[in-house]
């Protein structure tokens, strides 16, 4: 049984979609990051980086959304893609893990969360997110999936952040990226997405991004110099 440490934010949502898409049995363990539960010693043993998601499986901890997707797909063979597409899969997973994810996250941070919103930072991260969207858009021309001709963890991983495109680059953001928009609509219409969106719906996660939440989420910003 997989223990899935979850908060309803983009990186854990990728794992929620993977688990719902594959039907692997799992136990949900909510981690309320706005309340600082990611810093509790028991959770830090699972993820020394203090972020969601993490999983435990057969006594093994795995942290970081893309590591979890790679681990589970290797273990189970589900959504792993074809052997001959392995190099493409690894390339696109790393593109998502090191590009789409971090630039999207920083764009959201500087546009919506940071107390000050410096023009340079807003511009830099939004433009880099847009550049990554453009790369993916061009790749998806004439394709239904990011890798090969079937759903893989690359699609699952990209969905987590492309789902937040309006927050990352603005309302109707995908209109400028027709292939990406078509791909996203197809993935988003899958029944597993509806189930993934319902994961943790009954959990009373803290919603207010008040001072205590800001300190829980970004403790390093408040540390003494
Ligand atoms: N590279 C990590 C990033 C994880 C991450 O940033 N998780 C966010 C939720 S999307 C989180 O737990 N934030 C709470 C915090 O940073 O304290 C991954 O892909 O799993």
| Structural domains for the chain | 2-78+195-221 (3.40.30.10), 83-189 (1.20.1050.10)
Q: Angle 132-134-138 (CA atoms, 0-180°, nearest 5)?
A: 120
pLDDT at 107: 97
Q: Is 46 exposed, middle or buried (0-12, 13-18, 19+ CB in 10 A)?
A: buried
Rg (CA), the chain: 17
CA of 84 to the centre of ligand 1 (A): 31
Where helices occur in 82-190 by DSSP H, the ranges are 86-95, 101-108, 119-139, 153-162, 165-169, 178-188
Question: With a cut of 70, which residues of the chain have pLDDT below it?
Answer: none
Determine contact, residues 55/68, Cβ cutoff 8 Å: yes
Which residues are paired to 60 by β-bridges? 57
**Token pair recorded at residue 35:** 């309340």
Measured from CB, residues less than 6 Å from any atom of ligand 1 are 7, 9-11, 33, 38, 50-53, 64-66, 101, 217
CA of 141 to the centre of ligand 1 (A): 30
Mutate to test the pocket of ligand 1, among 11, 108, 218 (most ligand atoms within 8 A of CB): 11
- Ligand 1 atom at shortest distance from the alpha carbon of 216: 17
pLDDT at 220: 94
How many CA within 13 A on the CB side of residue 210? 5
CA of 74 to the centre of ligand 1 (A): 22
CA of 16 to the centre of ligand 1 (A): 14
- Ligand 1 atom at shortest distance from the alpha carbon of 218: 17
pLDDT at 223: 84
Report the residue count for the chain: 225
- Ligand 1 atom at shortest distance from the alpha carbon of 51: 12
């Amino acid at each position: 049984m997989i223990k899935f440490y979850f908060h309803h934010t983009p990186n854990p949502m990728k794992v929620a979609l993977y688990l719902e898409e594959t039907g692997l049995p799992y136990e949900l363990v909510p981690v309320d990051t706005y309340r600082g539960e990611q810093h509790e010693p028991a959770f830090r043993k699972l993820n020394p980086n203090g972020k969601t998601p993490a999983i435990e499986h057969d006594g093994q901890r795995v942290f970081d959304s893309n590591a979890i997707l790679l681990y589970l797909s290797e273990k189970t063979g589900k959504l792993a893609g074809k052997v001959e597409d392995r190099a493409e899969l690894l390339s696109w997973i790393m593109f998502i893990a090191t590009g789409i994810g971090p630039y999207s996250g920083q764009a959201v941070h500087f546009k919506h969360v940071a107390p000050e919103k410096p023009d340079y930072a807003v511009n830099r991260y939004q433009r880099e997110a847009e550049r990554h969207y453009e790369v993916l858009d061009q790749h998806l021309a004439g394709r239904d999936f990011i890798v090969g001709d079937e759903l893989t963890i690359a699609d699952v991983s990209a969905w987590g952040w492309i789902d937040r495109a309006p927050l990352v680059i603005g309302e109707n953001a995908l209109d400028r990226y027709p292939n990406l928009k078509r791909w996203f609509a197809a993935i988003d219409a899958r029944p597993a997405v509806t189930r993934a969106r319902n994961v943790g719906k009954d959990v009373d996660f803290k919603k207010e991004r008040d001072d205590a939440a800001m300190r829980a989420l970004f403790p390093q910003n408040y540390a003494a110099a």
